[in-house]
Amino acid sequence: MSIFCIGRNYVEHAKELGNEVPTSPVIFMKPTGALLPQGSEFEIPAFTQDLHFEGELVLRVSKFGKNIKAADVLSYCDAITVGIDFTARDVQNGLKQKGLPWEKAKAFDGSAVLGTWQLLTEKMLQAPIHFELHKNGQAVQKGDSSLMIFTMPVILESITEYFSIHPGDMIYTGTPVGVGPTAKGDHFEGFLEGTSVFTLKVKP
């Protein structure tokens, strides 16, 4: 199973981190071990002093494919949810400064949180999809798929230009503005179109 992730897919988020707005999707990956088992507590790794949450829409791949056209996304993806791409921002900044890969900052064990899958429909893809991440009962990120720089169909086309996809693969589609720090004891909840799709406790 592959976990594909897109970076810098919302203009306001790229700006908040001082990054350029990309001209093609920024793709990175997490290993299978990055997926936090559902219902588990998340433990902040000892190697970071600045762990950020990034709430994101996540697509599930349903069929093998390569070189897929954007218009065919529904033949290859059948479900959507909200997840968190946890990021050790201090580690990432150090790696970025040296031009090194991001894996230590973004692909560590437990860094991929996933909600309950919801059926992906044509109607959803045509309308803006709204999602929210709440921290300790407050909305910290409000996402809207219509603000994506690269739409989900375009992301799929771009990923499969380089990589084949297989059933069960996941695509984290990037985070909107509002990322921020995570502390011991925090409580997160993810919402897709107003429906709660996960709750997550950070180990005290």
Stretch 31-70: interaction string toward Zn ion, x if CB under 5 A: -----------------------x----------------
Q: What are phi and psi of 65, to 5 degrees?
A: -170, 160
CA nearest neighbour of 195 among 84, 81, 83: 81
Q: Bridge partners of 52?
A: 87, 181
Q: Among residues 62, 111, 158, 175, which is the contact residue for Zn ion, using CB under 5 A? A: 175
Where does this chain touch Zn ion (CB under 5 A) — which range of 18-26, 32-40, 78-86, 146-154?
Answer: 78-86
Q: Which stretch binds Zn ion (CB under 5 A): 68-76, 85-93, 132-140, 183-191?
A: 85-93
Look at phi and psi of residue 51 and say left if phi exceeds 0, alpha if psi is from -120 to 50, else beta: beta
- Distance, CA of 159 to CA of 22 (rounded, Å): 15
Binding status of residue 88 toward Zn ion by CB under 5 A: no
Would you count residue 85 as binding Zn ion (CB under 5 A)?
Answer: yes
- List of residues contacting Zn ion (CB under 5 A): 54, 85, 175
